[in-house]
């Protein structure tokens, strides 16, 4: 009989932690999982799920306007922030309960409280100590606000969902997907929305043409985009917040959302008690099996600084459990991971950007299409979609697909299967399209825009 209380002790009940705990318990391991905040982690509580619900809410605003061209009288809709906010809370509470039931059903013990590592095999939750053969850290990331005059007046993506009053004037600081998505949400809900980014163009890391097209469409939708500018200070008076910018201008706001990055959520975890090395950016250093420099301690998900997507954390949790408790060797393939940015219009992407493909494959061929979606021929909306295929000339394999437009996330999910299967441009060309749809454009683009 083992001298340990548990075979596995998981710290953090987010997507990766819960998946690892459930699967390990399913293999017969004795598992405990500790969580001090909420079940389901960032995604369920202050990330993907509530954000997508708010995106739906924002799209109704534009939908009411679009409907007029189709004969609908939609001149008097009214948005109520409290209804959206409180209905969201009810849905999240339901999901929290589902996560608890999943753990109970698998036989994993849930401990409520912040876990603290005492040594390589010991974890404390409150005053109680537990011994485990393996410890898994899956505490995810946490948004942060840099220190500057008046920074205490800003909020993060954690708080923005639950503001007591709807901010009629919102300033968003940041150029990543979180900032871009919230700009679309609050603009769509009727707030005067300004997005600030210190660089020349937001969404760094995405395909350059997608970034440029997104900037044009988001600006056309009504968001006040300001690049190459940053915040100097924020002050509050009876009229609200005054935001002073580096270009000398000022903005008046009811709320300022900082979406400038996330840091690993390691505060108070007790890493100083063990030999767990960190990377330069403060994330936990792990090998390909998610083992840290302390042999009994593992880490996965956002806390390791890898690809920060919920499905990636889930896959890593599954891989970890199968290898360590199921006797199965399964590693996560990080190539051709699809992703979406739920801005308005939506971005969907999988594979290499044009710049990455040129560096990786050398000679590539590009296929592009930009058009006004059929829906907008009657709606009067001038929004345009943009689609791009990147082909490796040597093999004819499609190595990158990028899209911005309605349903981009839904469309790219299916495209990702084709890319992982190694589909060539010839296969795309011989695939019949569904007409009339936006997605059919991916199998009807025949003429390359450039060839290197």
- Burial environment of residue 268 by CB neighbours within 10 A (0 to 12, 13 to 18, 19 or more): exposed
**Residues in contact with 419: Cβ distance below 8 Å, sequence separation at least 6, in sequence order:** 336, 350, 351, 398, 399, 401
Contact assessment for residue 141 and residue 302, using Cβ atoms and an 8 Å cutoff: yes
Q: Measuring CA to CA, how many Å separate 289 from each of 17, 33, 292, 319, 431?
A: 15, 20, 9, 8, 39
Strand ranges in 223-355 using DSSP code E only, listed in sequence order? 224-227, 231-237, 240-245, 250-253, 255-258, 262-264, 297-299, 339-341, 347-351
Q: Is 213 a catalytic residue?
A: no
CA distance 140 to 16: 9
- What three-state secondary structure class fits 273? helix
- What three-state secondary structure class fits 129? strand
CA distance 208 to 214: 10
Q: Measuring CA to CA, how many Å separate 437 from each of 311, 367, 372, 406, 444?
A: 27, 18, 12, 11, 12
- Looking at 107-207, list the stretches that DSSP marks H as alpha helix, in order from N- to C-terminal side: 177-189
Which residues lie across from 262 on neighbouring strands?
143
- Burial environment of residue 10 by CB neighbours within 10 A (0 to 12, 13 to 18, 19 or more): buried
CA distance 364 to 351: 14
Q: Measuring CA to CA, how many Å separate 248 from each of 148, 285, 332, 373?
A: 16, 41, 48, 40
Query: Before 389, cis peptide (omega within 30)?
Result: no
**Residues in contact with 14: Cβ distance below 8 Å, sequence separation at least 6, in sequence order:** 40, 41, 42, 43, 44, 138, 139, 140, 301, 313
- Looking at 195-309, list the stretches that DSSP marks H as alpha helix, in order from N- to C-terminal side: 208-220
Query: Before 256, cis peptide (omega within 30)?
Result: no
18's enclosing H/E stretch is helix 15-26
Name the residues annotated as catalytic: 435
């Amino acid at each position: 009989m083992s001298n340990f209380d548990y075979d596995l002790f998981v710290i953090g009940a987010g997507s990766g932690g819960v998946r690892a705990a459930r699967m390990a318990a399913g293999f017969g391991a004795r598992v405990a999982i500790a969580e001090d905040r909420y079940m389901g982690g960032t995604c369920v509580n202050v990330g993907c799920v509530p954000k997508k619900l708010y995106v739906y809410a924002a799209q109704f605003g534009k939908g009411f306007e679009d409907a007029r061209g189709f004969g609908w009288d939609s001149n008097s809709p009214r948005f109520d922030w409290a209804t959206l906010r409180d209905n969201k809370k009810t849905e999240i509470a339901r999901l929290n309960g589902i996560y608890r039931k999943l753990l109970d059903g698998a036989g994993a013990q849930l401990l409520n409280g912040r876990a603290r590592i005492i040594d390589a095999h010991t974890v404390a939750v409150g005053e109680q100590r537990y011994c485990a053969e393996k410890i898994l850290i899956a505490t995810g990331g946490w948004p942060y606000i840099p220190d500057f005059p008046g920074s205490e007046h800003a909020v993060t993506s954690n708080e923005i969902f639950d503001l007591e009053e709807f901010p009629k004037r919102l300033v968003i600081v940041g150029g990543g997907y979180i900032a871009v998505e919230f700009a679309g949400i609050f603009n769509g809900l009727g707030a005067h929305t300004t997005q600030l980014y210190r660089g020349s163009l937001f969404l760094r890391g995405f395909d350059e043409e997608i970034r440029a097209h997104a900037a044009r469409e988001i600006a056309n939708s009504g968001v006040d985009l300001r690049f190459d500018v940053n915040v100097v200070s924020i002050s509050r008076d009876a009229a609200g917040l005054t935001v002073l910018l580096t270009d000398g201008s000022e903005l008046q706001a009811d709320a300022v959302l900082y979406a400038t990055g996330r840091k690993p959520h390691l505060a108070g975890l007790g890493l100083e008690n063990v030999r767990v090395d960190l990377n330069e950016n403060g994330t936990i250093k792990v090998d390909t099996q998610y083992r840290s420099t302390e042999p009994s301690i593992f880490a996965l998900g956002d806390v390791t600084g890898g690809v920060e997507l919920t499905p990636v954390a889930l896959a890593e949790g599954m891989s970890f459990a199968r290898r360590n408790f199921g006797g199965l060797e399964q590693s996560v393939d990080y190539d051709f991971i699809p992703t979406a940015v739920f801005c308005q219009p939506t971005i969907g992407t999988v594979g290499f950007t044009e710049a990455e493909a040129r560096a990786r494959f050398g000679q590539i061929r590009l296929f592009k299409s930009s058009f006004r979606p059929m829906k907008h021929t009657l709606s009067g909306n001038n929004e345009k979609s943009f689609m791009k295929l990147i082909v490796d000339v040597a093999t004819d394999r499609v190595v990158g697909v990028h899209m911005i437009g309605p349903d981009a996330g839904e469309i790219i999910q299916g495209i990702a299967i084709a890319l992982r299967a190694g589909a060539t441009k010839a296969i795309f060309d011989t695939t019949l399209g569904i007409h009339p749809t936006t997605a059919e454009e991916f199998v009807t683009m025949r003429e390359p825009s450039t060839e290197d």
